[in-house]
Amino acid sequence: MKKILFSIFVLFLVVSIDAQTVEYKLQENIHYYSETINNSDSYIKERCVLDIYYPKEVRGYATVVWFHGGGLASGQKEIPEALKEKGLCIVGVNYRLYPKIIAPKYIEDAAAAVGWVFNNISNYGGDTSLIFISGYSAGGYLTNMLGLDKIWLQKYQIDANNLAGIISFSGHAITHFAIREERGISGTQPVIDSLAPLFHVRPDAAPLILITGDREL
């Protein structure tokens, strides 16, 4: 998994710095919603935070926004070890979880986090034209939704086509099983509606790669 993860990003990124000589900094638990929104909802204030790991004293680097897995019902933000010290900025995102909230709140949170990155990454030295979104499982589903359905990022005046790339690891292409559970639909019943990435497939999207494995270990 680690080798695949790094190899895929190498295919997309051209990093013009010597990663071995760079010092990195980690800032944790940054709120990506406004203070007004945070103060209006205790669960947003608790959960809607991100960590940013970036190369210090470097300009123009690429950024990967990473969404954790956990079936939209569990999990914590993370900075994948395989991407550390590679000349990249990594943003690990927490989002609200089912059953405390239901769809599309977690998609809204993911979009807000990406909006924060677009609006703030240049302050850390990042290049807004080199922002990739990625994630594993539920995080892959969120990645696919943000990259393919343009309405989520439009709220933050971002055209999803301006993403540098959409890289989903084992992400749902149909409507997520947590959403089906919310609606009382069997987990074995496939659904493709407006909350399915497959519903929004279009030829003009940002570069997209889908990575998964079979069930044989």
Q: pLDDT per residue over 126-153, tens digit each? A: 999 999 999 999 999 999 999 999 999 9
Q: Is the pLDDT of residue 29 over 90?
A: yes
The pLDDT score that the predictor gives to residue 185 is 95
The pLDDT score that the predictor gives to residue 211 is 92
For residue 54, give the CATH number of its domain: 3.40.50.1820
For the ranges 10-14, 121-125, 172-176, 196-200, the lowest mean pLDDT is seen at 10-14
pLDDT band at 4; cut points 50, 70, 90? low
The structural domain count of the chain equals 1
Q: Across the chain, how many H-helices and E-strands are there?
A: 7, 7
pLDDT band at 14; cut points 50, 70, 90? very low
Per the domain annotation, does 97 fall within a domain?
yes
The pLDDT score that the predictor gives to residue 15 is 46
Coil, helix or strand at residue 167: strand
**CA pair distance 84, 61, nearest whole angstrom:** 13
**For the chain, what percent of residues have pLDDT higher than 90?**
86
Q: Is the pLDDT of residue 2 over 60?
A: no
Cis peptide leading into 55, omega within 30 of 0?
A: no
How far is C-alpha 131 from the geometric centre of its chain's CA atoms?
Answer: 10
pTM for the full model?
A: 0.91
Tell me the average pLDDT of the chain: 92
pLDDT band at 18; cut points 50, 70, 90? low
Per the domain annotation, does 217 fall within a domain?
no
Per the domain annotation, does 156 fall within a domain?
yes
Q: Who wins on pLDDT, 126 or 213?
A: 126
Q: Is the pLDDT of residue 119 over 60?
A: yes
**CA pair distance 46, 69, nearest whole angstrom:** 18
Winning range, highest mean pLDDT, from 19-33, 36-50, 203-217: 36-50
**CA pair distance 74, 22, nearest whole angstrom:** 34
3-state helix, strand, coil in the chain (%, to 5): 35, 20, 45
Q: Is the pLDDT of residue 51 over 80?
A: yes
Residues 51/25, Cβ–Cβ less than 8 Å: no
The pLDDT score that the predictor gives to residue 1 is 53
Per the domain annotation, does 17 fall within a domain?
no
Per the domain annotation, does 216 fall within a domain?
no
Residues 12/215, Cβ–Cβ less than 8 Å: no
Range of the structural domain that residue 65 is part of: 2-10+22-211
Per the domain annotation, does 31 fall within a domain?
yes
Q: Is the pLDDT of residue 201 over 80?
A: yes
Per the domain annotation, does 30 fall within a domain?
yes
The mean pLDDT value for 30-56 works out to 97
